[in-house]
Amino acid sequence: MSRPQKIAAVVMTVLTGIAIYGFFAFRYPYHLHFQEQYQLFEWTGAYFAQVAGVPGGLADWLGRCLTQFFYYAPLGAALTALLLCGVQLLTWAVSARRSLMLYALSFLPALLLAAFCCDENALLGPVVAVALSLGAAALCRRVVPQKGRRLLELLLVPVLYLACGPVCLLFVLVSVCQEFAGGEGKPWLFAAGMLAVAAACPLVASRLFPYPLHRLVEGVHYYRFHNILPGMLYAAVLAALLVVAVSCLKVRKPLRSLVPAVILYVVLLAAGTFLTLRTADPVKEEWMRYDFMVRMQMWNRIMTAADRRNPDNPKTVSCLNLALARTGRLPDSQFTYFQNGPEGLLPTYEGDFTNPVSTGEIYWHLGMVNTAQRYAFEAQEAIPDFQKSARFYRRLAETNLVNGDTTVAMKYLNVLQHTTFYRAWARETAALVSEGTLFEKRPELARARTLRLREHDFLFSETEMDSMLGLLNVEHPENTMAVDYLMAWCLLRKDLNRFAECLPMVTASPLPQAYQEALLLLWFFTHDGYDGLPASIAPGNVQRLNRFLADVDAGKSRAAMEAVYGKTYWFYYVYRYQNRPE
């Protein structure tokens, strides 16, 4: 290529890297945090042997090693961009011809892999496997003697299968294409030998490893769910093969102009951007964002985010309500935000690896330590690819420390001491346990130990949630957060009678506005007039309720009612969450 074309090629790669970095750092950063929290990478030989000791294990280990740095989203975005740009450069390196058009085409597999990485269940190991396969093919091209090169390629097939898994087929097919492009020394015989060795690898592996044959053919650790074939990954593999195949074609008059190559690059980049945005899920990203802020206890930041855009997913609403409760604003501000029933306060338990995460955080802050421990343990055991979670290990260590089970807690702390980003916390915590000053130096653990249920924290039904929240306050009257959740639970279920029964537990003065509105509504349902109205209800609320009821009777639209009364409990009672108790 000419000098202007080489400059254009560098600009293309740099622009693509910046685009990938910008997307994951600013548009999709919490996706990276999500990936990091569902693994527990240890710097130990035993962990390496466990992960790398299966077909594709080395690529999986390297992928997990990179994923641990997703703890910091900007660093994770930079590593992702570098890895995908490396795939593009390696695709270019194994091409048989050199032209700017082929250089532009070499971005295709990297862009497909960028879309693959937007799937929250896609692992980074297979992307590393693609890079390793292409890198091996590029290195083999440097072996000049044909017989030596072919022998090396045949020997590398089982090695790459063990290191990369079935993605090593990319190395096989690229090597075959390159030999056919050379046209020397019976390439058909070489191709048959390479394909035969590649086909034998999973068959032999099925005798050596405890995996069914279809898993060894599709990939053991390519996707979090083992019963789903990662189509986007294999589309990227085929795209890389397509680039090599095109480069092997003999063209009489190849295009050497700069403009067509730039146009092709722009088209591919636009198509890759469109596919990436279609694969990315903004709803899941929003929940991951709120869950991360709960994890880091960024309560004010949660409310700032909700002020910009009112969340409407039950899981995100539950995170917002937790932030309101931890800052003491739940009674006064709950209905200034969207509420979608009790699911937005304490979501129903679901036996998967995502739903119990933020719900367990709520129970932890309420003082239901054993329930938080159960949620963390069961969420970890439900991770589809059977990995452990550094986040859950930390929570399990904390709950056991609060409960006084120091021996069990040390088991989790010892493992965390072999990690990168949890090592300092685990070592410091273990030292505090030895010194006997843990609860003096860790106020969060001291708070949990003070507020935890000692006698009544057992398995319970969601329909008994009001009783459990009441027990929290009975055992620890200073636990005002439990009272806030109890009153919110009654209000969200529209159980005004239970709300009135629990109202004496509220010590706030004056009575929060939502409580006044609920009490006034109950009075309207149970009395013929307003005589004898409790003094805790401000007189102006009576006129507002009368106007609200008159507007309802007048048949005003929901939108019109929301514009005037959208931040009142009355609007919630009439227009939202229609399941009312009998």
Name the residue type at position 524.
F
Q: Do 335 and 568 contact (CB within 8 A), yes or no?
A: yes
Both tokens of 66, joined, read: 């990179």
**Residue 217 and residue 183: Cα distance in Å, rounded?**
30
Residues 212-238 have a mean pLDDT of 94
**Residue 206 and residue 217: Cα distance in Å, rounded?**
10
Residue 4 CA from chain centroid, whole number? 42
In the chain, pLDDT over 90 holds for what percent of residues? 82
The residue ranking higher by pLDDT, 514 or 458, is 514
Q: Do 502 and 553 contact (CB within 8 A), yes or no?
A: no
Same domain, 48 and 76: yes
Q: 95-114: b or e for each residue (b if 16 or more CB lie within 10 Å)?
A: bbeebbbbbbbbbbbbbbbb
| Closest listed residue to residue 139, CA positions, set 178, 106, 180 | 178
Position 236 scores a pLDDT of: 97
Domain end among 278, 309, 325: 278
Domain end among 235, 250, 278: 278
Tell me phi and psi for residue 383, to 5 degrees: -60, 120
Same domain, 333 and 211: no
Answer whether residue 529 shows pLDDT above 90. Answer: no
- Total count of domains within the chain: 2
Coil, helix or strand at residue 198: helix
Same domain, 219 and 300: no
Give strand pairing partners of 223: 122
Give strand pairing partners of 122: 223
Q: Tell me: the pLDDT tens digits for 124-139? A: 999 999 999 999 999 9
Q: Tell me: the pLDDT tens digits for 405-437? A: 999 999 999 999 999 999 999 999 999 999 999
Least confident of 276-285, 398-407, 569-578: 569-578
CATH of the domain at 427: 1.25.40
Note whether residue 420 is domain-resident: yes
Same domain, 75 and 93: yes
What's the whole-number average pLDDT of the chain? 93
Same domain, 292 and 263: no
Coil, helix or strand at residue 146: helix
Residues 9-36 have a mean pLDDT of 97
DSSP 26: I
Both tokens of 493, joined, read: 């279920």
Residue 304, domain extent? 284-451
Domain end among 226, 259, 278: 278
**Residue 74 and residue 21: Cα distance in Å, rounded?**
8
Same domain, 46 and 156: yes
